[in-house]
């Protein structure tokens, strides 16, 4: 089976105007299979966000290759780059970042559908279906971001990301701004979506919470100082960590508990 996402020796070096360059990501390689959920864990500064920004082409790559659904997207520009977002969507840490505060949630969710040529009536019907799929009533289509809770806004953000039926959903700390109860609700929703979508939806789950990764992900990558230092099934990595950094992460969670 061909991977939905293949990252090969990905690196990012930031120049600093005459000072020593900073290597934020170094020789990162992994594959994400259809229907799989892959967790990426590490503390702030470990390179997770830089890696995601390269995968989504928000940052140029210093070295390496990114292949999405069989297509090399490493150096795409313009229309070709815009077309890849039909296959790849993101859910951000702050739910409100997904929406224009001056427009309703329904407008935000339906934007990509209208851009694809769907009629106004068809768009409204699909927006209501997506909201209900994500656990919100159709009335939420007429609400503004400031009129809903953080958890409700994140559900709407997931609905927006799913509108164009992407093959890859990237969740970048998508639960970290939510309280524990709402976190569980969002994880339950993502699990439900995985059951419904099957092999048609793969998830790259960026997180700093080991317990969430253990609950939700099929595999996990541990990042430290821009490199992948450990990978495997979450239970195996947590119960038998091989790298000192992974052991420190686990110990810090146990101390906090």
- CATH at 36: 3.40.50.300
> What is the pTM (predicted TM-score) of this model?
0.90
State the Cα–Cα distance between residues 34 and 207, nearest whole angstrom.
Answer: 20
Q: Which one is predicted more confidently, 255 or 198? A: 198
- Judge whether 155 lies within some domain: no
pLDDT at 93 over 90: no
Please report which helix (H) or strand (E) contains residue 212, including its range. Answer: helix 210-216
- Judge whether 62 lies within some domain: yes
Q: Are residues 237 and 40 in contact, defined by beta-carbon separation less than 8 angstroms?
A: no
Q: Which tens digit of pLDDT belongs to each residue from 161-175?
A: 989 889 999 998 877
Q: Which tens digit of pLDDT belongs to each residue from 94-131?
A: 877 778 999 999 999 999 888 888 898 999 999 999 99
pLDDT at 178 over 90: no
- Judge whether 154 lies within some domain: no
State the Cα–Cα distance between residues 21 and 56, nearest whole angstrom.
Answer: 23
- Judge whether 182 lies within some domain: no
Parent domain of 253: 1-87+166-174+204-257
Supply 72's token pair.
């090399």
State the Cα–Cα distance between residues 112 and 162, nearest whole angstrom.
Answer: 10
Q: Which tens digit of pLDDT belongs to each residue from 126-155?
A: 999 999 999 899 999 999 999 998 889 999
In the prediction, which pLDDT does 256 show?
44
pLDDT at 179 over 80: no
In the prediction, which pLDDT does 218 show?
95
CA neighbours within 13 Å on the CB side: how many for 226?
14
In the prediction, which pLDDT does 44 show?
85
Mean pLDDT computed over every residue of the chain: 89
State the Cα–Cα distance between residues 238 and 169, nearest whole angstrom.
Answer: 25
Q: Are residues 214 and 190 in contact, defined by beta-carbon separation less than 8 angstroms?
A: no
State the Cα–Cα distance between residues 30 and 8, nearest whole angstrom.
Answer: 7
Q: Which tens digit of pLDDT belongs to each residue from 227-244?
A: 999 999 999 998 898 899
Q: How far apart are the first and last CA of the chain?
A: 40
Residue 34 CB-density burial (10 A; 0-12 exposed, 13-18 middle, 19+ buried): middle
Residue 41 bridge partners (DSSP): 207, 222
Crossing angle (nearest 10°) for helices 150-162 and 120-133: 120
- Judge whether 15 lies within some domain: yes
Total domain count for the chain? 1
- Judge whether 212 lies within some domain: yes
């Amino acid at each position: 089976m061909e991977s939905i996402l293949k990252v090969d020796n990905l690196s990012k070096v930031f120049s600093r105007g005459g000072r020593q360059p900073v290597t934020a990501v170094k020789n990162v390689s992994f594959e994400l299979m259809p229907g799989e959920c892959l967790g990426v864990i590490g503390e702030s500064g470990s390179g997770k966000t830089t890696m995601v920004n390269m995968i989504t082409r928000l940052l140029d790559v210093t070295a390496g290759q990114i292949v999405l659904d069989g297509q090399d997207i490493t150096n795409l520009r313009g229309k070709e780059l815009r077309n890849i977002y039909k296959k790849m969507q993101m859910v951000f840490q702050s739910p409100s970042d997904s929406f224009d505060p001056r427009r309703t949630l329904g407008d935000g969710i339906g934007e990509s559908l209208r851009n694809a040529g769907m009629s106004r009536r068809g768009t409204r019907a699909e927006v209501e279906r997506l909201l209900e799929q994500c656990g919100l009533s159709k009335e939420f289509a007429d609400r503004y971001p400031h009129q809903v809770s953080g958890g409700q806004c994140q559900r709407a953000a997931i609905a927006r990301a799913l509108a164009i039926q992407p093959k890859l959903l990237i969740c970048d700390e998508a639960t970290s701004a939510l309280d524990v109860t709402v976190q569980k609700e969002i994880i339950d929703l993502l699990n439900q979506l995985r059951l419904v979508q099957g092999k048609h939806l793969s998830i790259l789950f960026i997180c700093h919470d080991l317990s969430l990764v253990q609950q939700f992900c099929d595999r996990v990558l541990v990042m430290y100082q821009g490199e992948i230092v450990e990978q495997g099934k979450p239970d195996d990595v947590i119960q038998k960590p091989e790298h000192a950094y992974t052991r420190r992460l686990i110990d810090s969670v146990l101390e906090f508990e």
